[in-house]
A and B are shown apart, each in its own frame.
Chain A
Amino acid sequence: MKERLPLFIFVFFLLMFITGILLDEAGNVFQKGVTICLSCIGIG
């Protein structure tokens, strides 16, 4: 069981990742990524 733990954890996050894609969360990351983050610069 202990040996399989990394695999279970990986699959858990993989499913999370795929669900995120299906819910178009990647699109939201993209939307943020293509706009200048004024907070990061220290202006916003």
Chain B
Amino acid sequence: MERFRRFIQFTAAFVANCRLWITPSSPIYTGPLKFICFPGLNCYSCPAAITSCPLGALQNVFASLKMNLQLGRPDFGLYVIGSIGMIGAFMGRMPCAWFCPFGLFQDMVFKLVKVPKLAFWRPLSHLRYLFLFLFVIILPIFVTDAAGFGQTWFCKFICPAGTMEAGLPLIALDPGLRSIIGTLFFSKLTLLFLFIAWSSINSRPFCRAICPLGLILGFFNKVSWLRLKFNNNICVDCKACELICPTGVSFADGRDDINSTKCIRCMRCFNFCPGGAITVEFSKTRRQLKDEDCTCHTK
């Protein structure tokens, strides 16, 4: 399962970034696939990206909300919220573990950089709410210029995926951009290096402490079609699930719910549990529900 997941991760990263013919005259892809929101953090300004980033698109909707309302233009982000919501309703936060290119990058850094690994300080996971509500929603909507247009605060000041996937390649490609970089770029670059260093000692720190997209998808974990179930009666209390969990979800001792917003559905606990106490549940299909109804009526 773990090898299969890795294969899917690499495939998804390649599919999202499969524009191989990159020239300085056309630094980014401008084809028709750019209207699709990729289910993961993948900067749309990356020269190889062929799809859009849902978090970037969401921030752009919020940033232009005031201006659109003033101009009477209907753009309430229904398309972007609908795209994210459909994925969430189907599989919850599963894209974080299976499709997200920045998640794969963190996995690789954690695995390949041979330094002593440290325990993640759990209260940091509450920061995700701050980044989602403040940097993605409140600031882009309410801090606007004279024309009513806000900024994409998370992209501009935080997102290390943007710096790594778009900033560095575009600056390497375009001498014009090189000449106008300033303090902001270097502060974002420093942030990126700090994240890389953090990813080497903690597993998936960005997903656990920062990622607003992961939090949005995580809200669906409890109500998605695909869910995990923990059977306490079968549990042999070996703590294997807690030790191998990349986001430190601790459900065997009751600290977290198995479908908490932290769970990225990598299925490692399901795979490694010696007693089979963890199962993958799918909500019943319409047909199954219909069949059950029929059985009840017959009885």
- Knowing A6-B224, A34-B34 touch, does A25 contact B77 (C-beta < 8 A)? yes
Interface of chain A: mostly helix, strand, loop or mixed: helix
| Interchain CB contact under 8 A, B85 and A13 | yes
Query: Which of chain B's residues 261-291 have a Cβ closer than 8 Å to chain A?
Result: 283-284, 286, 289
Chain A: interface residue total (CB-CB under 8 A)? 35
| A23 CB contact (under 8 Å) in B74, B86, B182 | B74
Interchain CB contact under 8 A, B43 and A37: yes
Chain B residues whose C-beta falls within 8 Å of the C-beta of A41 in the assembled complex: 45, 162-163, 166-167, 170-171, 177, 181, 185
Say which one of B100-108, B151-159, B195-203 lies at the interface with A. B151-159
Residue B211, interface by CB 8 Å: no
Q: Closest residue of chain B to A39, judged by CB?
A: B156
Check: B205 CB closer than 8 A to any chain A CB: no
**Could you say which of A4, A20, A33, A43 contacts B82, with CB atoms under 8 Å apart?**
A20
The 8 Å CB contact of B35, one of A29, A37, A44, is A29
CB-CB under 8 A from B189, the residues of chain A are: 42
Tell me the smallest distance from the CB of B172 to a CB of chain A, in Å. Answer: 11
* Interchain CB contact under 8 A, A39 and B155: yes
* Pair B184/A43 contact, Cβ less than 8 Å: yes
Instruction: Give the CA-CA distance A28 to B35 in the complex, in Å.
Output: 8
Given A17-B86, A39-B151, A41-B185, A33 contacting B52 (CB threshold 8 A): yes
Task: Show the binding face of B for A, using Cβ within 8 Å.
Answer: 27-30, 32, 34-35, 37, 43-45, 51-52, 56-57, 60-61, 64, 74-86, 88-90, 151-152, 155-156, 159, 162-163, 166-167, 170-171, 177, 180-182, 184-189, 220, 223-225, 283-284, 286, 289
Enumerate chain A interface residues (CB-CB to B < 8 A).
Answer: 3-7, 9-10, 12-21, 23, 25-30, 32-34, 36-37, 39-44
